[in-house]
Structure 1
Amino acid sequence: MSLHSSLIVEETKQNKEEERRKLVEEVKTQLWLSGPLISVTLLNFGISLISLMFVGHLSELSLSGASMATSFASVTGFSLLVGMASALDTLCGQSYGAKQYRMLGIHMQRAMFILMIVAIPLAIIWANTRSILIFLGQDHEISMEAGNYAKLMVPSLFAYGLLQCLNRFLQTQNIVFPMMLSSAVTTLLHLPLCWYMVYKSGFGSGGAAIASSISYWVNVIILSLYVKFSPSCQKTWNGFSREALAPNNIPIFLKLAIPSAAMVCLEIWSFELVVLLSGLLPNPKLETSVLSICLNTTAVVWMIPFGLSGAISVRVSNELGAGNPQAARLAVCVVVVIAIIESILVGAVVMLIRNIWGYAYSNEEEVVKYVANMMPLLAVTALVDGMTAVLSGTARGCGWQKICAFVNLGSYYLVGIPAAVVLAFVLHIGGKGLWLGIICALIVHVLCLTIITIRTDWEKEAKKATHRVYNAITTEILVS
């Protein structure tokens, strides 16, 4: 073998070794990011779950009212704030990758300001929950109970908006363990606080709503103190700045925040709509109960790919901001493989527990059997929804929110809901038909996102990220 050939072989080996090293590092980084993010999501979900568990021991009416208020709050408030705050995945993530650290604090302040303004009309809606539910034909007693519960949850609306901004600010800097510890402390404190407010304070079921509000504010205070005093945030937080509130800069955030909110809300609302449609089926009590169980189960399972979604959003936005398009592409390939493996494992677990899972919610044999029949559909949902979550995270990292909002609109409301109505009410498949409609929507959704991702020019996306970051900086300079 000639010297030239030996050099080529050696160089090829080195290149392969380097690629293997980058792949291993990327897997480690994404697992290191996604683990705490999954924990944060589960712990925050635990606050509402703990509240409902304590209320459930008071009376059936109290539980029904609190459950309806929590669902109403999610649809009309929390989902919108989560969606708008996710614009920071793009703005903060790409700024951090480009080493424009000061801009992270500016973006977060602007997001907080806008979300607090948006929370005001949402608070008015929550304050009128009773009237809205009665107008929609809900039971009068349950509506009264839900209305009282929702009024006491209003302070949590503002805390939740701030919390989402703080979480995005930290996770785009790869600071995830403080978020996890803060959420853990808050959830642990919520247990005795909720017990006291429900059983000892005299507030009854309303005490759970007050406890939830206090817990969210505690979480906000802990993270705010961390941001202010931690050396990790010295470069990215320089105190409050009037530049963040300059009117000329607000469209920079809204341009991404509005389609981001549409992305999140359109998907969440479609699932809630399916549960409402189940009330129109024959034997609505059974259908609604089972579909609610399916929705809750899917929500819990979805928190795992949601953590992966946050991780890939950070990785893609950081690498594009840093001008490393190939690293961003590698990150997407890695997360897709991880999501497929995770979804298969979760689907297998769902199938293994299909005959006993219903007992966690009901002792009625009819409900348990129906849930068992629905579980294979939930396993398919877990597989498809896992892919949807990580590809949506990729979209947020790139800044494709506007495109994805239209994809979600078409997938869920031009395909999914019409298919659900036809399958359930025309072909008389019942609750299974409604859920099959959702699966149709998820399949269309994941296919569209897959095509968009495959056709992506990563070099072009890196240039767009650079333009977005420095355009924001130029605007700040002009204002100041």
Structure 2
Amino acid sequence: MPDSPLEPINVPSGRRQSLLAAVMPETLPLSASFLETSPLVREILCNDINDCSSSDDEENHASDSEPEQELGPEDAVLSFHPQGVAFGYGYSTVPLPGVDRPVRNPHEIEESFREEVNLLRDNDILPPKDSHSRHPSIVDRVYQRFSISEQGGQHQIDGATETDPLLETRSIDGPGTPPAAKVHELWDEAVASQKLKTTWQREVKTLVRYSAPLIATFLLHYSVTIGSVLTVGRLGMLELAAVNLATMTASITCYVPVQGLSTCLDTLCSQAYGSGHRHLVGLQAQRMTWLLWLLMVPIAVLWWFSEPILASLVPDLETARLAALYLRILILGMPGVAAFETGKRFVQSQGLFHATTYTLMIGAPLSFLQNWFFAFHLGWNFAGAAMAMAITQNLLPVLLALYVRFVEGSECWNGLTRKAFNNWGPMIKLAFPGMIMIEAQFSVLEILTIAAGQFGTATLAAQSVLVTVTSTAFNIPFPLAIATSTRVANLIGAGLSDAARVTAKVAVAAGCVVGTFNLAILAIFRTSIVRVFTDNQDVIDTASTVMLVCALMEFFDALAAVSHGILRGVGRQAIGGYANLFSYYVVALPIGLSTAFALDWQLSGLWAGLTAGLAVVSALELLYLYNADWEIAVAQAESRMRSEDINGELKPARSQ
């Protein structure tokens, strides 16, 4: 192990050497966050443990630090890098010291063991599970036909026992599965002798299984915004322009900062849960909620008096007035926005990723019903759409709390406590950089929205449609990127660099397929899609023309998302983070603003700039990955795991 977490790891030179490798060397020093838990994280958790060490608390939480009930497969390695995701949060930012260090939970441990068994069966090291218990399906037989094993045989995977690791897991049982100790012994032998191989067919199946439920969840989450835009689009062009201006202003001043500040809970809550101090999970979420609510007071004041500010940014005064009205009503939803962000981290740190899905399955349809009821049935029009959004924002955390209370997750909640008002300093230091990085990324969209407003109300209304459509389309490649990140990181952590490379190739191919699909849909149905949002002919003509540029952008958007997912999986998300910032501010903005105003391309020019930026970032990331030495990523993963063992002050003892 290196003497310092900042010391490069010496690994034999890679498979490829190029000019790019000299500019971005494979032996980049590891950040502190990659090798050891941030001192801030340890300080926060240790302070909270000390605060909760009074006699009353010790009595209530005496069992918290006891080891988990023995699961059997707890030493499985394929959940080395668990990938819990807070829905709605983009991860294309520069990694921050100590952040992004989740601790695997029993759900991920169980899924890790399942994947070990499946890979061993694929390679004929373990016999098939229940091979005579049922006839293979058509999908299984096709998969068998093309699946490659070391000894020339093919074994089926029992699809009925595999569920997405990000949403739900089940125990592996049956006569075909030996004891966990035997599985680990066979696994270590297979890795040492390089017998474990994977195939394109298996990785396609795995990525689909990982990403499909996430795609549904992401689309459910964004459908709340879609419902609001659809509603105001039926009201008129002016209202459609105003909702775009209001939504982007709300995002840049509230929603994005809330997401950025909440990122520290991904580390704090998972570290508390993984270390056995479950009562601290609720404490961390509670503290962050109070902090966010406090910060929303000045934001609410800004929104209430936003009309003159917005009027100075767009030429049409009525658009500014309606946007300010929308923001004033959204103030009512601010508490729910904060509570839902922290609530997502609270359940996801416990491995309960499906809790958010179930919440959205109820909340999203209700948001559409509320839009119709307030805007049309009661005749509140534009204000009704804003009211529906505010109520939905408060409804989602209530539904999530009901799930925790009556279904699962309540063992990490011990009620409101005054201790949530202590120990704020270290948490703010940990959270603030995350807000800055995410804000820097998303502020580009606000700049382009303001620029679009300079070309008139119809253009701003068309921008609203385009932002909604492209954001909806992005909810397909982004979950695919998360699935890719999970799979690559797990394989890298297990020492299977060849298998990780196969997954990366499959993911890039899948990104091309998804990007081409989005491109074709937006190009072929561009006019029909716009007509869903509005019947104003000026808006339809403008949006349908620019949609061709957006269609091309979707191809590069998918490639950029997948390539960044691969970089994240190999622990090189810093490369993608800096590449994103470079593409936005050095490529996208200058090209977009110059073509829009100097060449008079107007809205087409703004989106052409974004397209160019995404083309550059996807090219940079893919070129880096093509020249990467994956063996170094494996060595770094091993160093990280050794560091976790040494610096695991907060980890409970393993079950014996």
The alignment's TM-score, normalised by the length of structure 2, stands at 0.58
Match of 2:198 in 1: 20
Q: How far did 1:62 drift?
A: 4.8
CA contact (8 A) 2:215 2:475 kept: yes
**Residue 513 (structure 2) pairs with residue 341 (structure 1):** yes
Q: Does 1:41 align with 2:218?
A: yes
User: Which shifted more, 394-403 or 405-414?
Assistant: 394-403
2: CA distance, partners of 1:348 / 1:398: 31
Greater helix proportion = 1
Name the residue aligned to 1:433.
Answer: 605
Q: CA deviation at 1:278?
A: 3.6
Aligned positions of 1:353-368 closer than 5 A: 353-354=525-526, 356-361=528-533, 368=540
Say yes or no: does 1:379 pair with 2:555: no
Unmatched 5+ residue regions in structure 2?
1-124, 126-147, 154-189
Which one of 222, 241, 245 corresponds to residue 399 of structure 2? 222
Q: 1:90, 1:399 within 8 Å by CA — same for their partners in 2?
A: no
The question of 1:130 aligning with 2:289 is answered no
Task: Pick closer, same or farther for the CA change 1:302–1:288 going to 2, 3 Å.
Answer: same
1:315-360 Cα distance to aligned partner (Å, 9 max, x none): 567778xx53648946655544432322222222223324544444
Which one-letter code corresponds to 1:459 in the other structure? A
Q: 2-side partners of 1:442 and 1:239: how far apart?
A: 46
Q: CA deviation at 1:104?
A: 5.7
* Aligned twin of 1:4: none
User: Which stretch shifts more, 218-227 or 264-273?
Assistant: 264-273
1:258 aligns with 2:433: yes
1:133 shift after superposition? 0.9
465, 472, 488: which one aligns with 1:300: 472
After superposition, the Cα gap between the structure-2 partners of 1:468 and 1:90, relative to the gap in structure 1 and judged at 3 Å, is: farther
The change in CA–CA distance for 1:425 and 1:465 in structure 2 (over 3 A counts) is farther
Number of residue equivalences: 459
1:47 Cα deviation after fit: 2.2
Q: Aligned to 1:165, what secondary structure does the other structure show? A: helix
Partner of 2:357: 180
The amino acid that maps onto 2:613 is: A
Give the whole-Å Cα distance in 2 for the aligned partners of 1:475 and 1:113: 28
| Alignment partner, residue 332 of structure 2 | 155
1:146 paired with 2:320, answer no
The whole-number CA distance in structure 2 between the counterparts of 1:245 and 1:466 is 33
Give a deviation string over 1:34-61, Cα, whole Å, max 9, x none. 3333223322322233234444555665
Aligned amino acid, residue 308 of structure 1: L
Contact 2:284–2:420, Cα closer than 8 Å, also in 1? no
2:448 is the counterpart of 1:274: yes
Equivalents in 1 of 2:149, 2:507: separation in Å? 30
User: Quick one: distance in 2 between partners of 1:340 and 1:108?
Assistant: 38
Q: Give the counterpart letter for 2:515 in structure 1.
A: S
Q: 1:100 deviation in Å?
A: 6.3
1:206 counterpart = 2:206: no
Shift of 1:452: 5.7
SS at match of 1:377: helix
Match of 2:585 among 399, 410, 413: 413
Amino acid at match of 1:438: L
CA drift of 1:298 comes to 1.2
C-alpha spacing 1:149/1:57, structure 2 compared with 1 (3 Å): same
Corresponding position of 1:85: 262
> 262-271 vs 84-93, which deviates more?
84-93
Between structure 1 and structure 2, the one with the greater Rg is 2
Q: Give the partner amino acid of 1:220.
A: P
Residues 351/388 of structure 1: CA separation in 2 closer, same or farther (3 Å cut): same
Q: What's the CA shift for 1:222?
A: 1.8
**Quick one: distance in 1 between partners of 2:294 and 2:592?**
36
For the residue of structure 2 that corresponds to 1:444, the secondary structure is: helix
8 A Cα contact 2:253 2:299, kept in partner: yes
Q: What is the rounded CA distance, in whole Å, between the counterparts of 2:620 and 2:271 in structure 1?
A: 24
Question: For the residues of structure 1 that align with 2:570 and 2:454, how far apart are their CA atoms?
Answer: 41
SS in 2 for 1:20: coil
Separation of aligned partners in 2, 1:137 and 1:37: 37
User: Which residue is equivalent to 2:617?
Assistant: 445
- Offset at residue 262 of structure 1 (A): 4.3
Which stretch of structure 1 is more off in the superposition, 340-349 or 367-376? 367-376
Q: Which amino acid aligns with 2:607?
A: W
**Separation in structure 2 between the aligned mates of residue 286 and residue 374 of structure 1, nearest angstrom:** 13
**1:93, 1:57 → 2: CA distance?**
44
Aligned-pair CA distance for 1:302: 0.9
Q: Give how far 1:383 is off.
A: 1.4
- Structure 1 residue identity aligned to 2:391: I
Once the two structures are TM-superposed, the CA of residue 182 in structure 1 deviates from its matched residue by 1.3
SS in 1 for 2:475: helix
Say whether the 8 Å CA contact 2:283–2:420 is kept in structure 1.
yes
Contact map agreement 2:549 2:608 (CA 8 A) in 1: yes
Change beyond 3 A, Cα 1:47–1:412: same
The answer to whether the 8 Å contact 1:89/1:313 transfers is no
Aligned partners of 1:357 and 1:368 also within 8 Å: no
Whole-angstrom distance in 1 between the partners of 2:624 and 2:260:
21
Superposition CA RMSD, Å: 4.3
Deviation at 1:109, TM superposition (A): 4.6
Aligned to 1:460: 636
Q: Distance in 1 between matches of 2:489 and 2:286?
A: 19
Contact kept, 8 Å, 2:590 with 2:609, in 1: the verdict is yes
Provide, for residues 64-85 of structure 1, a one-character-per-residue CA deviation record: whole Å limited to 9, x for no partner: 4444322321232222323443
Aligned counterparts of 1:399 and 1:147: Cα–Cα separation in 2: 43
2:594 is matched with which residue: 410, 416, 422? 422
- 2:238·2:461 contact (CA, 8 Å) conserved in 1? no
Residue 197 of structure 1 aligns to a residue in which SS? helix
Distance 1:437 1:182 in 2: 37
Distance 1:451 1:89, change over 3 A: farther
Deviation, structure 1 residue 220: 0.7
Residues 475 and 399 of structure 1: CA distance in aligned 2, closer, same or farther (over 3 Å):
farther
Q: Does the C-alpha gap of structure 1 residues 292 and 187 become closer, same or farther in structure 2, counting only changes over 3 Å?
A: closer
1:171 deviation in Å?
A: 4.6
Give the TM-score normalised by structure 1: 0.77
Separation (CA, whole Å) in 1 of partners of 2:553 and 2:206:
27
| In structure 1, distance between residues paired with 2:399 and 2:549 | 41
